[in-house]
Amino acid sequence: MGLLMKFGMIGSGSWGTALAKILTDNGNTINWWIRNNKTITTFKKRGHNPHYLGAAYFDTEQLVLNCSVEEVIRESNILIVAVPSAYAIDALSNLPKDIFQGKKIVSAIKGILPSTNQLLNEYLKETFNLPIEDYFTVLGPCHAEEVASEKLSYLTFSGIDEAFAAQIATCFNTEYINTKVNHDIFGVQYAAVLKNIYALGAGIAHGLDYGDNFLSVYIANCAHEMTDFCKKMVWDKESEEEQRSINYSASVYLGDLLVTCYSLYSRNRTFGNMIGKGYSVTAAQLEMKMVAEGYNASKCIYKTNEQIQASMPIATAIYQILWEELPAEDGFKCIESSLV
């Protein structure tokens, strides 16, 4: 008999709300951490998240809303973590060290934790002694806005325990969500981090008035750079046979890169577009109402790559534009010379 899945949702932004919609549309009841009681009261009254994805309505009898993250975790055995990477440690750091014992964690975070430069699984292992076998990811080309309007999307669930990843995936299968499974938990996470950086660069290119011809070449080179980095990062974690089985053209790698670079829903592309048009980083951050993961990610990947030394002229130039005040025009002149 399989494990009775009692889902808990940590995160009530647009992506957490989208994932909650998928789960409840598939008949699941969820425990959901909402930061404050005022939001909970409004949510129960109106049947939708008052701050994100207002078009996504819920049967509130399927929701156990709680402002205590600790209570949500204790009442659940499958925890979906869907907070922005910059806020993940704040959400989890004060919890008891044994709270995740016997729990399965599904990360929906598309970023590195910037204060420690770690993937979520690395932080959970170090801080809560969570074994990697109990850690899974849900990633892929799946904008929250399209989930809310029930446009067909694909999600990939990754874990060392592929059989259990497949069990989790069945809880997300709906008429508008197709699910895939793989074992590459490190590669999919790094790909999700990198695609945000490259999408931010695509926005800068648009703001600098580059056209579609350039953008196609830019994204093709981003895909190559991303694949090279992922292979180097996971080489000591995967066998050679497992490495060869990874399809970097699949939706969770190339597909997510493409949609994040091209879609008008992409907050990273929007943030980059403002940088390309001459906004300072501070001004662009103030203008944005949601977090652009690619900003912090660019610094994290730059620091990580100091150890593995992958060839990353595109990601390096974007880092220099965002963090070292390199003029965007000069940065993209450097990128131009590296493209093939």
Q: Please name the helix (run of DSSP H) or strand (run of DSSP E) that holds residue 206, with its range, or none.
A: helix 185-207
Predicted confidence at residue 265, as pLDDT, reads: 86
Predicted confidence at residue 285, as pLDDT, reads: 86
- Closest listed residue to residue 117, CA positions, set 95, 157, 89: 89
Backbone Cα Rg of the chain: 19
**Which has more pLDDT, 110 or 215?**
215
Mean pLDDT, residues 56-70: 94
Checking if the pLDDT of 239 tops 60, the result is no
Which of helix, strand or coil describes residue 143? coil
- Closest listed residue to residue 192, CA positions, set 297, 307, 338, 310: 297
Mean pLDDT, residues 39-43: 95
Q: What mean pLDDT, rounded, does the chain reach? A: 92
What proportion of the chain, given as a percentage, has pLDDT over 70? 96
Checking if the pLDDT of 293 tops 90, the result is no
Predicted confidence at residue 292, as pLDDT, reads: 82
Which position has the token pair 């100091």? Answer: 306
Predicted confidence at residue 245, as pLDDT, reads: 76
What proportion of the chain, given as a percentage, has pLDDT over 90? 81
Q: Please name the helix (run of DSSP H) or strand (run of DSSP E) that holds residue 229, with its range, or none.
A: helix 212-234
- For 75-96, write each residue's pLDDT tens digit: 999 999 999 898 999 999 999 9
- Closest listed residue to residue 250, CA positions, set 195, 213, 312, 174: 195
| Straight-line distance from the first to the last Cα atom of the chain, in angstroms, rounded to the nearest whole number | 53
Q: Are strands 30-33 and 63-66 parallel, antiparallel or unpaired?
A: parallel
Predicted confidence at residue 237, as pLDDT, reads: 60
The residue extents of the domains of the chain are: 7-183, 192-338
Measured in degrees and rounded to the nearest 5, phi and psi for residue 157 equal -105, 125
Q: What is the CATH number of domain 7-183?
A: 3.40.50.720
What's the Cα-to-Cα distance from 318 to each of 110, 116, 323, rounded to whole Å? 18, 21, 8
> Residues near 8 by Cβ (< 8 Å), separated by ≥ 6?
30, 31, 32, 33, 72, 73, 75, 76, 78, 79, 80
Checking if the pLDDT of 1 tops 50, the result is no
Checking if the pLDDT of 236 tops 60, the result is no
Predicted confidence at residue 243, as pLDDT, reads: 64
pLDDT band at 55 (very low <50, low <70, confident <90, very high): confident
CATH class of the domain at 192-338 = mainly alpha
Q: Please name the helix (run of DSSP H) or strand (run of DSSP E) that holds residue 106, with its range, or none.
A: strand 104-107
Measured CA to CA, the distance from residue 264 to residue 97 in angstroms comes to 41
Checking if the pLDDT of 67 tops 90, the result is yes
Mean pLDDT, residues 39-54: 94
